Amino acid sequence: MKKILSIFLVFLMLAFNVYAENDYITRGEFAVELNAVCKFETEAENIFSDLKDKPYKKDILCLNHEKIMNGYENKIRPDDFISREEAAVMLVKALKLETNNFFNVKFEDENSVSGWAVPYMSVLVNKGFLKGSENLLMPKRNITKEETVLLIKRCFNINDKPAEKEENNEISEETEEEIFIEEIFYGGAPPEEEEAEEKPTATVSIEAFTVGGGYVLPPVQIEIEEDMNCAYILDEILNSNGFEYMNTGSLDGDFYLSSVSGIGNLTPNIPEVLINSLADAGYTLNQQMYTEGELSEFDFTHGSGWMYSVNGEFPSVGFSEYVLNDGDVMRVQFTLAYGADIGGTEAKGFPDMADFYEIVNRDELTKKIAELGIEHFSEYMDLITKPDLTEDELNSILKGAEV
């Protein structure tokens, strides 16, 4: 009877997604559970004003030292509940899994996953560690204590001790009940890992620094297929992240990206240094000449549009004519001046044009953001998104990210 009532309760919890408040787990409690498995011992310096005398201080500082758990503005919010997507980020970092940007299993709400969490949540989904309910992933929903324990068990392949059998050689009712609950929540034992050859990867970002729009898509590391050109890669990334786009040509030839739409929270604020440079170069700037949520060619100036660089150089061919190699960094960038504001004048082939200012190579930074997550760099975003970022500023960001 006890088992029947327990099973009924589990079905009710799943059907109505109802959990008591004390069933949710806080960020501090999650850190304790995670570090109990990882067993990190080295603590970071405590710079967090909300972590002075907390019982989980050591575990949080150990995870912070390993760059698994980060704070913002000297706070790490240990008593806040942790969402499913936040938990996914920490687990993937702890496991040191390679991130990707594509869900092999489709969910109705996958577009609601925060951009910074997509590379991490998709890994757990694709490996079968994290599952949804009724085709919903529920990334922003707080994760429960029971889900946390079971998820950690799956991710780290932790098996319970063999169940003690009773005199009649049967598994006890309590153990059977635990097995049943695990089956209901996570579909059984963790899938066996198959050894596979490492696939080549590249780092990709989509940027709107010139209009004060930050990252349209923060840097992510993706697997690349042999001979797949950049147009196909761009198409897959934009579609999988809920963006729409317009182009000329086709994915197989003469592809030119003319517009990207579906950009949330885009409020153009063109930096003063660029406004002055545009004026000096004779451009007429109209900051109202754009469509909300979109960035398209001829927005703001007659020289605007999308360009791309690979390893710091701007190819003189379209997306469809370029194939990435292992380790490449592709940055898709919006320009207001035929590339003069992003270091791409040579690609346009105008001999009389020069870049507005010295452009530093951000490839190392782009890779580092993809590796650690955009939230790790929150305090540096004003610098990172400066069109005229200097070498000294770049080095200070990279140095600070290692702390």
The residue assigned the tokens 């004048």 is 345
Same domain, yes or no: 283 and 390? yes
- Which of the two residues, 345 and 284, has the higher pLDDT score? 284
Same domain, yes or no: 277 and 354? yes
**pLDDT tens figures, 346-401:** 766 566 778 999 999 999 999 999 988 888 898 899 999 999 999 999 999 998 87
Q: Is the pLDDT of residue 192 over 60?
A: no
The number of residues making up the chain comes to 403
Same domain, yes or no: 314 and 365? yes
Same domain, yes or no: 243 and 355? yes
Among candidate residues 134, 160, 186, the one where a domain is terminated = 186
Same domain, yes or no: 180 and 224? no
Average pLDDT for 326-348: 92
In a domain, 45, yes or no: no
Same domain, yes or no: 231 and 168? no
**How do 201-207 and 244-250 pair as beta strands?**
unpaired
The b/e string for 361-373 (b: 16+ C-beta within 10 A; e otherwise) is: ebbebbbbbbbbb
Strand-pairing partners, residue 204, are: 220, 330
Binned at pLDDT 50, 70 and 90, residue 52 comes out as confident
Q: Is the pLDDT of residue 20 over 80?
A: no
Q: What's the mean per-residue pLDDT of the chain?
A: 83
In a domain, 21, yes or no: yes
In a domain, 132, yes or no: yes
Q: Is the pLDDT of residue 158 over 60?
A: yes
Strand-pairing partners, residue 335, are: 305
Same domain, yes or no: 179 and 297? no
Among candidate residues 136, 155, 186, the one where a domain is terminated = 186
Same domain, yes or no: 267 and 353? yes
In a domain, 195, yes or no: no
In a domain, 153, yes or no: yes
In a domain, 396, yes or no: yes
Counting other chains too, the contacts that 236-244 makes at CB distance below 8 Å and 24 or more residues apart are 236/102, 237/101, 237/204, 237/206, 238/206, 240/101, 240/102, 240/103, 241/101, 241/111, 241/115, 241/118, 241/217, 242/111, 243/216, 243/217
Same domain, yes or no: 221 and 164? no
**Domain coverage including residue 169:** 2-25+81-186
**Hey, which of 20-24, 191-195, 276-280 has the most confident mean pLDDT?**
276-280
Same domain, yes or no: 151 and 210? no
Binned at pLDDT 50, 70 and 90, residue 334 comes out as very high
Average pLDDT for 126-142: 84
Average pLDDT for 58-78: 88
**pLDDT tens figures, 161-188:** 444 444 444 445 444 444 444 443 344 4
111: closest CA among 217, 207, 18? 217
**pLDDT tens figures, 257-275:** 999 999 987 889 999 999 9
In a domain, 50, yes or no: no
